[in-house]
């Protein structure tokens, strides 16, 4: 679906237009920007409109807030060109564009990438959120949206490098990483982890992305590893449970094809001492300790793979937990936990 949309946008950007936006429309838009709290962008639009805006009947502008100007100072003209698109992009159109769609800008050779998550909210380009629920200004030809910050000229979407060769089953003798959170200078795999973190955040896995940021850079060696990332809502108190990250990381690189090829009962070691992951199946659904894999191969590189889960890989029940749920413990039948997971 993304490719036809991309072709459509590129074709529109190549059209030759015979008329230009009315000067009055630009002036009206600048006034509304100023009244809406985008004073710096309003002043900039008034100053550069004649030199920056070409002879085009339509234009979409993405306006950073005043705080972004305060932080970075007055940006170069090229950065402003990166925030202007010759196509009219109403809100409904932006909502319909799938992730990865390229939007051409006035800056030659540079386009914006749609990074809106599968849920459809919030709408984002280059991982910068569109902050206004509706356009600040829209007369059908000139459309202006508020955004939370300037777009990064160096932004790029993480992409898989190649189809990998499946690894053998992990061995329990794989060296464990340092878990003290101390970053190692010159760590060769850091770029992979940064890209994986960006991908996780764009798909709603913010908690695991934070763990990737803080923990993986502390590993002393770029050993192969696989991360099973639970959704944010599946974790109650992740900051109070330090083991949650280590028990979701396996010390080898396992693509989906590797996992699917394992027989039921295969046990995978994790970076949490004593915690393992057992593979099983429920019909044609692959389970890890009873938890189905929700999004396979979310990200992969030469040594690093991320798969998405709906739930966490729970700690085994302790004798204390068993005592609490046993007859005579004071807990009623209604209080016994019930697993109603549907596949």
Do 232 and 108 sit in the same domain of this protein? no
Do 134 and 208 sit in the same domain of this protein? no
CATH code, domain carrying 237: 2.30.180.10
The whole-angstrom separation of Cα 139 and Cα 59 is 10
Whether the CA torsion 193, 235, 178, 165 is positive or negative: it is negative
Using one digit for the tens of pLDDT, what is the confidence trace for 268-300? 998 888 899 999 998 888 899 999 988 888 888
Q: Between residues 155 and 211, which one has the greater pLDDT?
A: 155
Q: Which domain holds residue 290?
A: 190-309
Is 30 in contact with 46 (CB distance < 8 Å)?
yes
In-domain check, residue 107? yes
pLDDT of the residue at 189: 45
In-domain check, residue 335? no
In-domain check, residue 125? yes
In-domain check, residue 320? no
pLDDT of the residue at 210: 79
The whole-angstrom separation of Cα 283 and Cα 93 is 40
Query: Percentage of the chain surpassing pLDDT 70?
Result: 68
In-domain check, residue 331? no
Whether the CA torsion 147, 149, 150, 156 is positive or negative: it is negative
Interval 121-149 mean pLDDT: 89
DSSP 142-163: EEEEEBSSPPPTT-------SP
Do 201 and 302 sit in the same domain of this protein? yes
Q: How many domains does the chain have?
A: 2
Please say if the pLDDT value at position 148 is more than 90.
Answer: yes
In-domain check, residue 217? yes
What are residue 259's phi and psi, to 5 degrees? Answer: -60, -45
Domain boundary among 146, 180, 201: 146
Do 55 and 132 sit in the same domain of this protein? yes
In-domain check, residue 164? no
Do 137 and 211 sit in the same domain of this protein? no
Do 222 and 289 sit in the same domain of this protein? yes
Beta-carbon contacts of 160 under 8 Å, excluding residues fewer than 6 positions away, are 299, 300, 301
Do 7 and 111 sit in the same domain of this protein? yes
Domain boundary among 146, 173, 202: 146
In-domain check, residue 67? yes
Do 137 and 16 sit in the same domain of this protein? yes
Using one digit for the tens of pLDDT, what is the confidence trace for 196-208? 788 888 887 888 8
Give the number of other CB atoms < 10 A from CB of residue 29: 26
Number of H helices, E strands in the chain: 11, 15
């Amino acid at each position: 679906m993304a490719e036809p949309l991309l072709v459509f946008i590129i074709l529109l950007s190549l059209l030759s237009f015979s008329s230009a936006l009315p000067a009055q429309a630009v002036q009206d838009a600048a006034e509304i920007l100023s009244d809406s709290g985008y004073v710096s962008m309003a002043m900039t639009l008034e100053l550069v409109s004649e030199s920056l805006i070409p002879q085009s009947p339509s234009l979409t502008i993405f306006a950073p807030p005043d705080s972004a100007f305060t932080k970075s100072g007055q940006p170069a003209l090229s950065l402003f060109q990166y925030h202007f698109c010759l196509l009219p992009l109403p809100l409904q159109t932006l909502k319909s564009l799938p992730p990865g769609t390229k939007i051409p800008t006035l800056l030659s050779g540079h386009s914006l990438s749609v990074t809106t998550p599968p849920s459809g909210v919030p709408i984002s380009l280059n991982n910068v959120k569109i902050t206004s629920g509706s356009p600040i200004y829209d007369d059908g030809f000139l459309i202006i949206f508020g955004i939370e910050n300037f777009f990064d000229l160096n932004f790029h979407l993480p992409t898989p490098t190649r189809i990998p060769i499946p690894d053998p089953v992990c061995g329990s003798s794989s060296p464990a990483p340092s878990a003290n959170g101390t970053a190692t200078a010159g760590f060769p795999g850091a770029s992979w982890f940064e890209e994986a973190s960006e991908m996780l955040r764009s798909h709603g896995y913010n908690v695991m992305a934070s763990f990737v940021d803080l923990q993986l850079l502390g590993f002393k060696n770029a050993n192969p590893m696989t991360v099973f990332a639970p959704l944010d809502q599946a974790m109650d108190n992740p900051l109070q449970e330090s083991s949650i990250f280590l028990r979701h990381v396996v010390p080898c690189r396992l693509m989906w094809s590797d996992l699917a090829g394992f027989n039921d009962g295969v046990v995978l070691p994790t970076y949490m001492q004593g915690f393992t992951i057992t593979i099983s199946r429920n019909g044609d659904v692959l389970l890890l300790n009873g938890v189905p894999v929700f999004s396979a191969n979310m990200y992969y590189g030469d040594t690093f793979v991320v798969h998405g889960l709906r739930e966490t890989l729970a700690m085994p029940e302790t004798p204390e937990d068993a005592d609490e749920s046993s007859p005579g413990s004071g807990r009623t039948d209604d209080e016994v936990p019930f697993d109603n997971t549907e596949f």
